[in-house]
Amino acid sequence: MILIFLTGCNNSQTGISKIKVGETGNEVNAFIGQDLHFKTNIYFPEGIKLLTVKFEPIKKTDWSYVKDYTTDVKQHNQYHLSGVIPIPVYLAVGIYKLCIKAVSEVGETAEEETEINLKVDSSMPFASKIDVGLNAKKDNLHLESEITASKKIKSVKVQLKWSSFSKTYTYNTGAMIGALQHTFHEHLDLKDFKNGKYDVIFIVEDQEGRLFETKGDFIK
């Protein structure tokens, strides 16, 4: 890790400032299926050439989140980075590392990292990764997910999106409503749908109005 601590006339510290995580800036936890917010400042007097963010488990797996901010920092010598990392619902709990790396126009390198404890927020509604399946005729869509909500389930919405097309299905009746957990299993008729790749957005709302979202897709 190379960190440079020089103070310029604008009182900015050369390199990358300490990463602030969450609303308070001091949070050490993140939650599966929710967004991880972070902030930091980058400063190189000669200008910033490269800036990348990586989030991955300490114990290596085949999953990592990498984002390149190089286009955003062009022609800047100072940059305030405010980022959001969507945490997939299928990740395992455990310790993850958030690493930010910057390179100056003259080749100086700075790195800053922090560890994040990825957990399940039991107070929020939760849905497992939506299982999406299309039959052989491609006219019937299977959807399945395991839902839990400590404040009880209020409703489920399923949105199908393709290009400018969007259709929403709302489920707010039956045994699911008011339950603490439920196996959501529905089939949608796609006979009148055009061919294409569709995004499936699955939204669970609990009795206190809190939302949880997971996504899938299919090709018709």
Q: What is the pLDDT along the chain (220 residues), one digit of tens a residue?
A: 333 333 334 446 899 999 999 988 899 999 998 899 999 999 999 999 999 999 999 998 889 999 999 999 989 999 999 999 999 888 899 999 999 999 999 999 999 999 999 998 888 899 998 999 999 999 999 999 999 999 999 999 999 999 999 999 999 999 999 999 999 999 999 999 999 999 999 999 999 999 999 999 999 9
pLDDT at 5 (0 to 100): 36
Q: How many domains does one find in the chain?
A: 2
| Residue 112 and residue 24 in one domain | yes
**Are the C-beta atoms of 147 and 184 separated by less than 8 Å?**
yes
In terms of domains, do 157 and 86 share one?
A: no
Q: Which residues pair with 66 in a beta bridge?
A: 54
Q: Tell whether 192 is covered by a domain.
A: yes
Q: How far apart are CA 204 and CA 92, in angstroms?
A: 21
Domain membership of residue 107 (yes or no) is yes
The residue from 66, 100, 119 where one domain ends is: 119
Is 171 found in the same domain as 111? no
Residues 105 and 48 in one domain: yes
- Give the CATH number for residue 33: 2.60.40.3880
Domain that holds residue 136: 126-219
Dihedral-angle region of residue 156 (phi above 0 means left; psi in -120 to 50 means alpha; beta otherwise): beta
Say what the pLDDT of residue 12 is.
66
Q: Are residues 58 and 137 in the same domain?
A: no
Query: Are 168 and 213 members of one domain?
Result: yes
> Do 57 and 141 share a structural domain?
no
Identify the domain boundary among 102, 119, 136: 119
Residue 9 included in any domain: no
Handedness of CA 72, 46, 8, 67 (dihedral sign): positive
Based on the domain organization, do 75 and 154 belong to the same domain?
Answer: no
Same domain, 130 and 192: yes
**What pLDDT was estimated at residue 6?**
35
| Separation of alpha carbons 206 and 212, rounded Å | 9
